[in-house]
Amino acid sequence: MPPKKKKSKKSKKSKKKEEYLPSIFNIPQYENPDIVTPKVDLIIKLVHPVTDLFTLKIRVQISTRVEQIHEEISKMHQGAISGISVCRDRFSPEDVLDPKKTLEQCGIFDGEIKLLYDYKPIVGPLLK
């Protein structure tokens, strides 16, 4: 049997705290976007038939994409709709908001905004 190797004890050296040089960059203080970003109240209504059953009132940030509003509308209809078109103040096919843009890019900054929507129903939604 080979002889056992003895473990050498390493001396414990006192570790010095590393000191860093002051930053040469001006780092701004962190601001929480949930607090700083302006919010807008949206009243989302179905174009036809006009009824309070299909009215949705939500408060969102102006950095919210129109596509997220489409998802909220779809949830309200329990996923049985597609081809959602959203317009501001009045509904016309030429004034449909682009789903890839944010509310801020669509010109919605503050206050209470009225959005109107229309959709295409899914044929046989239970089959999908």
Taking residues 65-91, report their average pLDDT.
Answer: 94
Task: Tell me what pLDDT residue 13 has.
Answer: 54
Taking residues 63-88, report their average pLDDT.
Answer: 94
Cα separation, 128 vs 122, whole angstroms: 9
pLDDT above 70 for 126 = no
pLDDT above 80 for 7 = no
Taking residues 101-126, report their average pLDDT.
Answer: 88
pLDDT grade for 41, boundaries at 50, 70 and 90 = very high
Whether residue 115 contacts residue 69, with contact meaning beta carbons closer than 8 Å, is answered with yes
Residues written for the chain: 128
